[in-house]
Amino acid sequence: SAVISQKPSRDICQRGTSLTIQCQVDSQVTMMFWYRQQPGQSLTLIATANQGSEATYESGFVIDKFPISRPNLTFSTLTVSNMSPEDSSIYLCSAPGMRNTEAFFGQGTRLTVV
C-alpha cells in the first residue's frame, strides 16, 4: 500500500486569496492525481500530475485556477487560486500503490471560502 500525507487537513479562507495544498507519498510514483469533492457530491478528477512535465487537466479545470507542481516522484502541490465560495470543497490527492493497481488517497483538505 501507499501512505499519503496531505496538508492542511482543513482551512477557512477569504475570497480572492489562494491556498496551496501539499501531498506527500511514502514511495516514488509516476503519476499523482488531484480530485475535488463538492458538498454532497462524488469525486471529480481535476488533473493528473506527472513528474517532469505539465499537469494534464480535465474538462472544466484550467491551470490558471488550479496550478499544480510536481517537483519530484514523491511530492505534489495543488493551488486553488483567486478563491470564491464555489471553491468550497474537499480536495484529495491520490497515488497508485505497488504495481500501479490499487489507488490510495490522502485524508483530504476541507476548504471553506468565506
Partner 1 sequence: KQEVTQIPAALSVPEGENLVLNCSFTDSAIYNLQWFRQDPGKGLTSLLLIQSSQREQTSGRLNASLDKSSGRSTLYIAASQPGDSATYLCAVKTDSWGKLQFGAGTQVVVTP
Q: Which of 52, 53, 101, 114 binds partner 1 (CB under 8 A)?
A: 101
Q: Does position 45 bind partner 1 by CB under 8 A?
A: yes
Using DSSP bridges, classify how beta strands 89-96 and 31-37 pair: parallel, antiparallel or unpaired: antiparallel
Among 38, 41, 72, 82, binds partner 1 (CB under 8 A): 41
18-34 burial, b for 16+ CB within 10 Å, e for fewer? ebebbbbbeeebebbbb
- The answer to whether 5 and 23 are in contact (CB under 8 A) is yes
Strands 75-80 and 103-105, sheet pairing: unpaired
Nearer to partner 1, 78 or 96 (CB): 96
Q: Minimum distance between the CB of residue 102 and partner 1, rounded to whole angstroms? A: 5
Contact between 98 and partner 1 per CB under 8 A: no
110 sits near partner 1 (criterion: CB under 8 A): yes
Pairing of strands 56-57, 43-50: antiparallel
| Residue 48 touching partner 1 (CB under 8 A) | yes
Positions touching partner 1 (CB under 8 A) are 1, 6, 30-31, 33, 41-45, 48, 90, 92, 94-96, 100-108, 110
